[in-house]
A and B are shown apart, each in its own frame.
Chain A
Amino acid sequence: MKFKTLLPALLVVLAAGCDSILDVRPINEVDEGTAITTAAGARAALAGLYDGLQSTGYYGGTFTFFGDLSAEDVEHTGTFTTYRQADLNALTADNTTIEGFWDALYRAVGRANIILARVPTVPGLAAAERDQMLAEARFARALTFHNLVKLWGEQAPVGMGVPIPLVPPTDIPTASQITRSTTGQVYTQILADLAAAESLMTLSGGGSTTHRATIGAVRAVRARVFLYQANYAAAEAEAEAVAAMGYTLAQNYAHLFTQDGQATPEDIFVLEFIPVDFQLLGFFYRAKGVPGGRREIGPTATLLRQYDPAYAGTPASYNPVDLRGQHNIAFTDTIAPFFVYGSKWPTGIGAEDVHVIRFAEVLLIKSEAEARQGKLAEADTGVNLVRARAGLPPVNSIALGQAAAIDSILQQRRLELVFEGDRWPDLVRTGKAAAYLAAFVPPLPPRAAFQVLYPIPLNELDVAPGLVQNTGY
């Protein structure tokens, strides 16, 4: 029978074919060694970097949520206990959302580092395009280091900052030896990255390009960085430079938060979202009962009273003059039972673009920097533009006096940037966070002073033993 010869033949074929049978390669993924070796690969890696900024652990979610939850204007109304910890300022180092947050930021840094390491040697890239790519990577890294240091880093320049990896890891043991740089070192690196980005950047500012980093974005973020460093003269100068590029406020506050990403002259750098990118902001802020989302977090009565001091806990009693208060706050119903929710994002689809920095913030940076330098007359210009757009009368800083003038500018920052994750970093920056935590007295649960800084995730400490935890955790 033929079968007699078939079987040994089969065995031989099998033995000979083993190696080829066992070499199975992925189709939809590409090997690390060949990924960034062409112009197309370099461009894909750059898109991947922006994808990193879009993460639901970063601008697409946690960065905004926790920046709001830790402060007084937003509270936890959903079911995630990790969010509740942030709301109660009772974070623990094993909070998994904090871990995802930290991971997402360093994932973006890692993607920038790979571009910075590989793109310079990619053949077939024109110098201008290559330099623009490197500039964008530097910008994204600086932005992210700043977001890290403002939440996890001690404020004093000699204090513990955050780790600042600058090259892709060669192997895991080496990567695990990382330590925290001082806050001063982190800021030095941020400014070095921004300076390099500015010099390499070919895309100018002024609003023609907003979905990628431009010189306008670099300088606007630098203004913010200087403000955080309390280098007010430099902050003012950078803000003025940005203003000179031709940005103006959007005519209508609501135009900034449209589903189809309508461009406004206020945009400096927005992350563009289409439905498949799905940012969580609308889905988590909007209420269950109306088109939108799960109301995982919601505005507090405190916030509503900032917009309308007469707010008495019912929809009928909320009649803000402030147009932002009209846009940002909504109720599920006019009579009980109702929920109040954040309506800044018009849908729960997750396709609204997210502003990383916009001109209103630059104006407020400029006003604050001026007020803090005692230039009270100049300070009115920026803040009054923002107030006017909100339907509020102008202020006179000189009449208010310096301290009250600064407070009124910070209040505008609060009302303008609410639900954008700015409030808690602002409280920390201005030294008010500790006072906020101390203000909770029984029967409210006590909040510990060390909670001003976020904890480094427990799992991170386990695998990078050189990292030192923030005090108190």
Chain B
Amino acid sequence: MNRTTIVWSTLSVALALSLAAPPAAAQGTASVTGRVVDSITAQPVAGARVTMLGSTAGALTDREGRYLLQGLAPGTVTLRAQRIGFAARDRQVTLTEGETATADFVLRAAATVLSDVVVTGYGSDTRANLSTSVSSVSAAEIQSTPLAGVDGAIQGRAAGVQVVQNAGNPGVGMTVRIRGSASISASNQPLYVIDGIPMLRDDFSQLGVGGQDLTAVTGINPDEIETVDILKDAAAAAIYGSRGSNGVVMITTKRGRVGTTRFTFNAYTGSQGVPTGNRWDLMNANEYITYMNEAASNDAYGPFYFGDPDTIGVGTDWQSAVFRSTPVTNVTVGITGGSDRVQYYVSGSRFLQNGVVIGSGYHREAGRVNVDLTASEKLRFRSSLSIAREQHDRIENDNSIAGVVTNAIANQPWMSLRRSDGSFTTTDDGLEYENPLAIASYDITQSRGLRALGSLEANYTLRPDVTLNGRFGMDILNLRDLRWYSPNVGGSYGESVGGESIIGNNTPTRYVVEGFADFHPRIGPTASLSVTGGASAEWNSSELDYLDGIGFAGDQFQYPGNAATVVAYDGDWTGHNLVSFFTRANATFRDRYLVTASLRADGSSRFGSNNRWGTFPAMSVGWKVTEEPFARSLARRGDLKLRGSYGVTGNQDLNDNFAPLSRFARANYADVAGFAQNSFGNPDLQWERTREYNVGFDLTIFGGRATIIGDWYKKITDNLLLNRPITSTSGLTSATENIGSSQNRGLELTLNAIPLQPSSPEGLRWSTDFNISWNRNEVTKLFQNEPFSVGLYSTSRVEVGQPLSAFYTLRFLGVDPATGDAIFDDINADGSIDAADRVFIGSPHPKFWGGLTNTLSWKNFDLRSFVQFTQGHMIFNAIGVFANDGGYYHDNKFRRLLDRWQNPGDVTNEPRASYDGTSGADLISSRHFEDGSYVRLQDVTLSYRLPPQWAAALRMADSRLYVSGRNLHTWTQYSGYSPDVNSNGSNSNTALSTEFYAYPLARTIMVGISGAF
């Protein structure tokens, strides 16, 4: 803390010195005064600069929008009023010696990044007044994205925010990391706050469907969203205290405005597919049999062990058998408008996305009613309510031997899809794994959600400078799971038990009650202060039940009610509550010195009685350099603000709500009810703590045509919530403690520019938005600093001094041209290759990532392209364990093994085929890791605005036709469907960037229309 104190003191001194700026020089006795107001709000524009062209004279407007230029020479002169965020206005005025002329200006707002309003949690501010680090994504950027959730829509849109899609299954959760990963056992996903209410985010399904999981974030239609603001540094997120460490995604939904009733609509439809070039390049039947025969004969099993390749042909392309070309459609209609007293936004939508893999899909029907009611001059009400229904048609996916995609990749190509009688082939016919098309056709895996999410807020103006706010919010979700393992899938577990049916119900609920007051005292013409303070209480609970039965009289009975035998069941309740007090003060001095300080105290039922409460302070300062008199000459062209912040946030997102208690839980013996101890309590348990420093700048140049926002941060997280192993001889194997630390530091740059600005609205306009982020992650302390391995085949390692879950395995050096055997780095030079020879070979975290959006507008056309990139991360391609194993397993093989070693002297990187694994090809090593860097042309949209006369004829306004392509091309060295992969799903902290039969990403081409009438 000492160092922090010094930083603040230094900044304070700098502020104090700059207050003593010299006045402007005088030339004559004429004066001019006036007022600058906003054209829309008619409110005064403070801080506008009024200058006399051709001279150095100039002044800033005060809080009332007034300016005064004195000591001017008489004559007719041109005055210019300008302010970042507004278009400059010129006026001619005649000055007379000894008199004061009047010249008022009405400025029209010109949208710039700095004039955007940013939601900060319990309040909002313009970006120009912000001294913390917040990224924003606008509605235009996220609407019409053919993805279920807003998490995917913000991928590549905001600096410092890394989104990994994980897989292409419709509607599944994505990994969102704001400024890196910090935690090992608690969640690293951000907090989502929608219209002030923290939203349920987790996967509440009770079905294990392989690697990918659901997320409650999909319950919101992205078309209902006005803006997304992402609180990144601790000073911004600290207002959410014990839940701020992973950053906060503030979602603001659309609201009605005063005006006549408008009907709005946006509809698109598209076709999705998996382009042939994006698929796994696997062997055909002839190549496979040849390879396997060679593997067998190399290990002395004799020739033609797997049959004669020449009679076998090319066989079955299993991938084509399960992929399809299939539609995605979305229709959102809205009614919006309002009077002075009531404004409303009502919308309804249907989003339907079939999956490119047969059997999968997602659809959502959602409605929203947002109403603003001015009950009296002093009392306003705001209600926001969304109701949604979701249906996930999931298929068994990655990380499962019964997965549709898994078995399409793994099954042998010489096998047929169907028997001669048209029925599906099965493992009885020799398939290594269940027929994927049979699974996709007969099995059901459905999760259906009903969601009510909303809030009611009252604002009461007690005095002109004091507002009281009360808010009630709720998020109620009911998720019903249904699973049916059909007996028709030959060779499946479902067949062996006569069908299996599972139903599950989970009802998580959250209720929030908050009260807070805003105080805006008037403290001077160029200074302002606003203080917010209040309290919040939150109740969370979740009730679930589950029933799993087997043995059915036929394929038509798909609910457990018809099961002969119950094989599993559950019924449980859990909950956790949070009570908070918070306050924040924003102060501005001389319109150029910004100070914000906040403090939140959180009490959580999740923590031990000894450490139930935590406090989370934060402070940030900003200095608008170009508002300084000495920088006046620069101010006309641009604007520079320097920012610095420090804050403390927490993370309490443990799966276990009762970790402080030692508990006994169900442990039945056959039909005798029993229990046994399942946890060691820890009454000292508390939150993870993150301290974060942030230094940044907002620079606007070229008169507002380009804005650059840069940030550097360092995040130190300690007291990690860790399920640390304990000696099993105690009877239990782990205990949750606060042990360990990690660090993230990084750089972020955002550039928004308008390189071409036409003089007429018809002309060619080019705008470009670019962001790039670097983050470096390091584990700095662990339990006894003891490293541990996690993930598939234990290749991800958590070790001090390394990035979280860096890849750790044998290093493959090449193939011995004499023997064809794989050569590995014998690190300890003991002559044998074993676990002791493992080394760090790469990181699952990218070195840098970002996005680039370009928009060209000409006449009625807009062309927008979005490129997203991620560089420098490695992918563990675990499919290679079976498909690049030398022939140890019967799975189909990568086609690149055609280049394998075959004869002494062959120089290649693919080892000799070996059925017994004697060539070392089956050892897990750096051979199975690939560079995951990629650049993706994510989105290209061409739209055409209907000319006003056409629109008028159709009684429409603002109507737009568009054609759009998504996931158009990816430049990458990676051999799989998508380098944006993790088969461990979005809830995995420590097993990252792993490919194990992930679902492919679709390429989508769509057409749409939007408009209003």
A272→B576 contact, CB < 8 A: no
Docked Cα-Cα span, A385 to B566, in Å, equals 39
Q: Does B1009 contact A (CB under 8 A)?
A: no
Residues of the A chain whose Cβ atoms lie less than 8 Å from the Cβ of B630: none
A463→B579 contact, CB < 8 A: no
Across the two chains, which residue of chain B brings its CB closest to A33?
B662
| Least distance between B922 CB and chain A CB atoms (Å) | 9
| Least distance between A59 CB and chain B CB atoms (Å) | 12
Q: Does B668 contact A (CB under 8 A)?
A: yes
B675→A106 contact, CB < 8 A: no
Known: A24-B605, A463-B726. A273 touches B670 (CB 8 A): yes
A47→B497 contact, CB < 8 A: no
| Least distance between B504 CB and chain A CB atoms (Å) | 15
Across the two chains, which residue of chain B brings its CB closest to A10?
B515
Known: A11-B515, A14-B535, A289-B426. A172 touches B666 (CB 8 A): no
A175→B729 contact, CB < 8 A: yes
Q: Does B140 contact A (CB under 8 A)?
A: no
| Least distance between B831 CB and chain A CB atoms (Å) | 12
Q: Does A6 contact B (CB under 8 A)?
A: yes
| Least distance between B964 CB and chain A CB atoms (Å) | 42
B658→A4 contact, CB < 8 A: no
Q: Which of B575, B674, B733 contacts A51 (CB 8 A)?
A: B674
Question: Which of these binds chain B: A122-130, A291-299, A355-363, A431-439?
Answer: A291-299
Interface size class of B (residues with CB under 8 A): 35 or more
Residues of the A chain whose Cβ atoms lie less than 8 Å from the Cβ of B680: 172
Q: Which of A43, A276, A290 contacts B566 (CB 8 A)?
A: A276
Residues of the B chain whose Cβ atoms lie less than 8 Å from the Cβ of A194: none
Known: A114-B731, A175-B727. A94 touches B550 (CB 8 A): no
Q: Does A216 contact B (CB under 8 A)?
A: no
Residues of the B chain whose Cβ atoms lie less than 8 Å from the Cβ of A277: 668-670
Docked Cα-Cα span, A109 to B725, in Å, equals 18
Docked Cα-Cα span, A111 to B724, in Å, equals 21
Across the two chains, which residue of chain B brings its CB closest to A283?
B493
Across the two chains, which residue of chain B brings its CB closest to A170?
B730
Known: A1-B378, A47-B669, A291-B496. A275 touches B535 (CB 8 A): no
Question: Which of these binds chain A: B35-43, B522-530, B784-792, B852-860?
Answer: B784-792
- When each residue 723-739 of chain B gets 1 if its CB lies under 8 Å from chain A and 0 otherwise, what string results? 01111111111010000
Q: How many interface residues does A have (CB within 8 Å)?
A: 92
Q: Does B825 contact A (CB under 8 A)?
A: no
- When each residue 170-201 of chain B gets 1 if its CB lies under 8 Å from chain A and 0 otherwise, what string results? 00000000000000000000000000000000
Q: Does A178 contact B (CB under 8 A)?
A: yes
| Least distance between B740 CB and chain A CB atoms (Å) | 14
Residues of the B chain whose Cβ atoms lie less than 8 Å from the Cβ of A387: none
Residues of the B chain whose Cβ atoms lie less than 8 Å from the Cβ of A175: 726-727, 729-730
Question: Which of these binds chain B: A161-169, A371-379, A406-414?
Answer: A161-169
A110→B732 contact, CB < 8 A: yes
Known: A22-B604, A102-B728, A110-B730. A10 touches B670 (CB 8 A): no
Chain B residues 724 to 767 lying within 8 A of chain A, measured CB to CB, are 724-733, 735
B491→A288 contact, CB < 8 A: yes
Residues of the B chain whose Cβ atoms lie less than 8 Å from the Cβ of A333: 428
Residues of the B chain whose Cβ atoms lie less than 8 Å from the Cβ of A18: 579, 603
B674→A348 contact, CB < 8 A: no
Residues of the A chain whose Cβ atoms lie less than 8 Å from the Cβ of B575: 24
Q: Which of A31, A35, A459 contacts B725 (CB 8 A)?
A: A459
Chain A residues 98 to 114 lying within 8 A of chain B, measured CB to CB, are 102-103, 106-107, 109-111, 113-114
- When each residue 356-379 of chain B gets 1 if its CB lies under 8 Å from chain A and 0 otherwise, what string results? 000000000000000000000011
Q: Which of A10, A15, A26, A169 contacts B730 (CB 8 A)?
A: A169
Q: Does B286 contact A (CB under 8 A)?
A: no
Chain A residues 332 to 389 lying within 8 A of chain B, measured CB to CB, are 332-333, 337, 347-351
Q: Which of A52, A113, A273, A274 contacts B667 (CB 8 A)?
A: A52
B730→A1 contact, CB < 8 A: no
Q: Does B657 contact A (CB under 8 A)?
A: yes
Q: Does A45 contact B (CB under 8 A)?
A: yes
B577→A22 contact, CB < 8 A: yes
- When each residue 534-577 of chain B gets 1 if its CB lies under 8 Å from chain A and 0 otherwise, what string results? 11110100000000001000000000000001111101111111
Across the two chains, which residue of chain B brings its CB closest to A24?
B605
Q: Which of B490, B567, B579 contacts A14 (CB 8 A)?
A: B579
Docked Cα-Cα span, A56 to B729, in Å, equals 18
Q: Which of B470, B496, B537, B788 contacts A17 (CB 8 A)?
A: B537
B726→A172 contact, CB < 8 A: yes
Residues of the B chain whose Cβ atoms lie less than 8 Å from the Cβ of A351: 565
Q: Does A210 contact B (CB under 8 A)?
A: no
Docked Cα-Cα span, A168 to B725, in Å, equals 17
Residues of the A chain whose Cβ atoms lie less than 8 Å from the Cβ of B829: none
Across the two chains, which residue of chain B brings its CB closest to A102?
B728
Q: Does B676 contact A (CB under 8 A)?
A: yes
Residues of the B chain whose Cβ atoms lie less than 8 Å from the Cβ of A337: 430
Known: A96-B794, A274-B671. A163 touches B678 (CB 8 A): no
Docked Cα-Cα span, A44 to B675, in Å, equals 5
Count of A-B contacts judged by CB separation below 8 Å: 268
Docked Cα-Cα span, A17 to B577, in Å, equals 12
Q: Does B325 contact A (CB under 8 A)?
A: no
Known: A49-B676, A163-B729. A275 touches B550 (CB 8 A): yes
Residues of the B chain whose Cβ atoms lie less than 8 Å from the Cβ of A399: none
B727→A30 contact, CB < 8 A: no
Residues of the A chain whose Cβ atoms lie less than 8 Å from the Cβ of B468: 3-4, 7
Known: A7-B515, A51-B669, A277-B670. A106 touches B729 (CB 8 A): yes
Q: Does B321 contact A (CB under 8 A)?
A: no
B835→A348 contact, CB < 8 A: no
- When each residue 149-171 of chain A gets 1 if its CB lies under 8 Å from chain B and 0 otherwise, what string results? 00000000000000101001100
Docked Cα-Cα span, A294 to B668, in Å, equals 26
Q: Does B918 contact A (CB under 8 A)?
A: yes
Q: Does B899 contact A (CB under 8 A)?
A: no
Across the two chains, which residue of chain A brings its CB closest to B889?
A79
Q: Does A27 contact B (CB under 8 A)?
A: yes
Q: Which of A3, A168, A349 contacts B731 (CB 8 A)?
A: A168
Residues of the B chain whose Cβ atoms lie less than 8 Å from the Cβ of A50: 669-670, 672, 674
| Least distance between A186 CB and chain B CB atoms (Å) | 13
Residues of the A chain whose Cβ atoms lie less than 8 Å from the Cβ of B401: 79, 294
| Least distance between A312 CB and chain B CB atoms (Å) | 15
| Least distance between B560 CB and chain A CB atoms (Å) | 12
| Least distance between A29 CB and chain B CB atoms (Å) | 4
Q: Does B382 contact A (CB under 8 A)?
A: no
B675→A3 contact, CB < 8 A: no
Residues of the A chain whose Cβ atoms lie less than 8 Å from the Cβ of B634: none
Docked Cα-Cα span, A171 to B468, in Å, equals 50
Known: A15-B535, A30-B675. A443 touches B918 (CB 8 A): yes
Q: Which of B433, B663, B784 contacts A462 (CB 8 A)?
A: B784
Residues of the B chain whose Cβ atoms lie less than 8 Å from the Cβ of A332: 427-428
| Least distance between A346 CB and chain B CB atoms (Å) | 11
A176→B430 contact, CB < 8 A: no
Residues of the B chain whose Cβ atoms lie less than 8 Å from the Cβ of A278: 567-568
Residues of the B chain whose Cβ atoms lie less than 8 Å from the Cβ of A119: none
A443→B300 contact, CB < 8 A: yes
Docked Cα-Cα span, A46 to B658, in Å, equals 24
Known: A1-B379, A6-B470, A50-B674. A464 touches B729 (CB 8 A): yes
Interface CB pairs A-B, < 8 A, 20: A3-B458, A4-B462, A7-B470, A18-B603, A21-B537, A26-B574, A26-B658, A29-B658, A47-B672, A47-B675, A106-B728, A109-B729, A110-B731, A172-B735, A277-B669, A290-B428, A349-B550, A459-B725, A460-B727, A464-B727
Closest CB pairs A-B (n = 7): A110-B731, A47-B674, A48-B676, A32-B662, A291-B496, A48-B667, A50-B669
Residues of chain A having any CB pair with chain B under 8 Å: 1, 3-4, 6-7, 10-11, 14-15, 17-18, 21-33, 35, 43-52, 54, 79, 81, 92, 94, 96, 102-103, 106-107, 109-111, 113-114, 163, 165, 168-169, 172, 175-176, 178, 211, 272-278, 283, 286, 288-294, 332-333, 337, 347-351, 443-445, 457, 459-460, 462-464
